[in-house]
Amino acid sequence: MPIAIKPRNDTQSIHEIGAIVNEYTPTRNAFWNTLLNRIALTIVKSKDWDTDFRDFKKGELTIGESIEEIFVNLARPHAFNPDVAEKEVFKREYADVRVAFHKLNYQIFYKNSISEQESRAAFVSWGALSDFVSSIIQSMYTALNYDYYCMVKYAICRAVLNNGVTAVASGSTGNGSESDYKAIVTTAKALANKFAIMSPNYNQSGVYNATRPSDLRIIMTADMDAAFDVNVLASAFNMDKAEFVGRRYLVDSFAQHDMARLAQLFENDENYTPFTAAELETLATLDCVMFDKDWTMIYDVLMEFEDIRNPQGLYYNYCLHKWGIISVSPFENAVALIQGYTAPAAPTGTLARFYGATNSATAPTNKKDNLGSWIEFTPTWTSGGAALTGEDAATTWAVSGNENGGTRITDGILRIASNETAASLTVTATNVRFGTTVTATVALA
Amino acid sequence: MPSKPSNDVLQAKDIDLTTVDILTVTINEMNNPSLERELVDAGLAEYVNESEDN
């Protein structure tokens, strides 16, 4: 049957409770174990969901350590034409399904010790017990909240630098004047309106997507927020004050990061790249980031306390473990407003070929040898004399002219059906970021 | 000087649990009948009928 502590208005009662709890070692160990694992963990977990960037969290993964994000792009429209129907009626057409994986990318723990003296002193008075418990809880969740802020800010800034976010000129010059901030708000307002219209221009993957105004989220600097009355900002985004306040998030600065802390947090993460001085200069020109509420892919994977008593040193060691995923979606809309941003010139592309039929870059003498075989295309995108890499060089593929549905291209590899009847095929590579295309013709007869 | 246990809210911001609440929940979670009996016998706690809570 459960009990209720009957507090007396004196210090003697807490002394007596402490004496009963401490008189038998297994009971004392069980007391601290329960206090940490049930009470402290529950409070820290609830507080962990009460951070500045709490709305970016999607949930808790109870099974597995990765998220598979699937996006189905728009189906292709066809013009009605009975003449081609007899040839194309059984032709296959696959849905444009895109997949992104978000993996467990941070595993951290916080460690603390409770000495014998501290555990006994906790029962000196009601106030001492209160201070003692709160110090355990507060040290944990304050660290969790701060680290979550640091990691999310890092992930967003890294996405901006890696072109995971569409960059747009903000219209400001960075002098911090009122007119400068007004220019940013004007640009942001136009983008908020454009977000609501289906477009492939505002997400990393180039899929057709739209963001309703109610789903829009904005991260801006505290300086920018301070420069405006909140009503002015809210009306710029077609929201009322309360709505806007719930959807705008503040950072101290995009260019200031706790690098020492980040290095500790991502100590074992091979994908962590500290910001260089040049990158921080770029981030200093970042005015704000606007994105769909589903853009952030943030999940908790594990959070638990473990504790153990050292009988030799007479102290308890306890650890709070936190694992999670902090990532961004390539399919959801996100733009970065950057001072003086100019888009790189559209690149030109070339396609190199490797023939499966000859196992070389040389085409087979008999063109029909390509039937039932494959050709691998490798694109090279060049802008301003420099080869593009990473997201700038991301390419989508299409094949046309085929008369057999079995002929198709995936990731640059063209598989030609053995009974393909077309005399030639056209392969089109499209640079996702710039929309530039390059084509190649494959003769089969 | 006597402290005020019933109003002694934890200092951590936004934690609306009194020390007595924490102590009560912890001891109940321990599920240790002999400890509970000892506290009740010492007049430091009393048994609570679960149905009354509900």
> pLDDT (tens digit, 9 = 90+) per residue, A58-98?
888 888 888 899 999 888 888 999 888 888 888 888 888 88
Q: Report CA A243 to chain centroid distance, whole Å.
A: 24
Does the pLDDT value for residue A428 go beyond 90? yes
**From the CA of A146, how many Å to the nearest CA of chain B?**
15
Residue B38 with chain A: CB contacts under 8 Å: 20
Between B20 and A51, the more confident residue is B20
- Kindly report, residue by residue over A320-362, the tens digit of the pLDDT: 999 999 999 999 999 999 998 887 788 899 999 999 999 999 9
**pLDDT tens per residue across span A11-49:** 888 889 999 998 888 898 899 888 888 778 887 877 776
| Mean per-residue pLDDT of chain A | 88
Predicted pLDDT of residue A177? 80
Give chain A positions within 8 Å (CB) of B24: 3-5
How far apart, in whole angstroms, are the C-alpha atoms of residue A6 and residue B21?
A: 10
Query: What distance in Å separates the CA atoms of residue A158 and residue A52, rounded to the nearest whole number?
Result: 19
Set of chain B residues whose Cβ sits within 8 Å of the Cβ of A13? 5, 44
- The structure's pTM equals 0.77
The residue of chain B with its CA nearest to that of A27 is: B35
pLDDT at A278 over 60: yes
Q: CB of B41 within 8 Å of any CB in chain A?
A: no
Of the candidates A283, A2, A323, A266, the one whose C-alpha atom is nearest the C-alpha of residue B48 is: A2
Q: Which pLDDT score, from 0 to 100, does residue A61 have?
A: 87
CB contact B54 to A (< 8 Å): no
Question: Which chain B residues are Cβ-neighbours of A38 within 8 angstroms?
Answer: 25-26, 29
Burial class (CB in 10 A: 0-12, 13-18, 19+), A146: middle
**Most confident range, picked from A129-133, A257-261, A429-433:** A257-261
User: Which residues of chain A are within 8 Å of residue B49 when distances are taken between CB atoms?
Assistant: 1
Question: With 80 as the cut, is the pLDDT of residue B5 above it?
Answer: no
pLDDT, position B8: 44
pLDDT, greater one: A439 or A241: A439
What per-residue confidence (pLDDT) applies to A139?
81
B45 vs A4, A11, A130: nearest CB? A4
Interface contact flag, B5 A7, Cβ < 8 Å:
yes
Where does the pLDDT of residue A211 fall: very low under 50, low under 70, confident under 90, or very high at 90 and above?
very high
Closest-CA distance of chain B to residue A9, Å: 6
Q: In angstroms, what separates the C-alpha of A296 from chain B's closest C-alpha?
A: 27
Q: Which residue has the higher pLDDT, A245 or A27?
A: A27
Q: Which two tokens stand for residue A386?
A: 């420099």
Is B51's Cβ below 8 Å from some Cβ in A? no
Touching check for A49 and chain B: CB below 8 Å?
no
Looking at beta carbons, which residues of chain A come within 8 Å of B41?
none
- What is the predicted pLDDT for the residue at A384? 79
B6 touches chain A (CB under 8 A): yes
In this prediction, residue A288 carries a pLDDT of 92
pLDDT of residue A120: 84
Tell whether the model's pLDDT for residue B54 goes beyond 70: no
Q: Report ipTM (2 d.p.).
A: 0.77
**A contacts of B35 (beta carbons < 8 Å):** 20-21, 27
What would the 3-class secondary structure string for chain A be? CCEEECCCCCCHHHHHHHHHHHCCHHHHHHHHHHHHHHHHHHHHHHHHCCCCCHHHEEEECCCCCEEEEEEECCCCCCCCCHHHHHHHCCCCCCCCEEEEEEECCEEEEEEEEEEHHHHHHCCCCHHHHHHHHHHHHHHHHHHHHHHHHHHHHHHHHHHHHCCCCEEEECCCCCCCCHHHHHHHHHHHHHHHHHHCCCECCCCCCCCCECCCHHHEEEEEEHHHHHCCCHHHHHHHCCCCHHHHHHHEEEECCCCCCCHHHHHHHCCCCCCCCCCCHHHHHHHCCEEEEEEECCCEEEEEEEEEEEEEEECCCCEEEEEEEEEEEEEECCCCCEEEEECCCCCCCCCEEEEEEEECCCCECCCCCCHHHHCCCEEEEEEEEEECCEECCHHHHCEEEEEECCCCCCCEEECCEEECCCCCCCCEEEEEEEECCCCCEEEEEEECC
pLDDT (average), residues A199-224 = 90
Q: Which of B4, B11, B23 sits opposite A17 (nearest CB)?
A: B23
Tell me what the mean pLDDT of segment A135-156 comes to: 88
Cβ contact A129:B9 at 8 Å: no
More confident of the two residues A111 and B10:
A111
Could B26 and A127 be called an inter-chain contact, meaning their C-beta atoms sit closer than 8 Å? no
Query: Mean of the pLDDT values across residues A136-144?
Result: 83
* A vs B: CB pairs below 8 A: 121
Residue B16 in contact with partner chain A when CB distance is under 8 A: no
Average pLDDT for residues A234-242, to the nearest whole number? Answer: 81
B6 pLDDT higher than 60:
no
pLDDT (mean) for A269-279: 91
Which residues from A are below 8 Å from B14, CB to CB? 47, 50
Stretch A131-159: mean pLDDT: 88
Contact status of A132 with chain B (Cβ, < 8 Å)? no
pLDDT at residue number B15 = 55
Nearest CB partner across the interface for B12, out of A30, A125, A134:
A134
CA closest to B3 among chain A residues: A10
Residue A19: its chain B contacts at CB < 8 A?
A: none
Mean pLDDT, rounded, for A364-370? 91
**Contact (CB, 8 A) for A148 and A109:** no
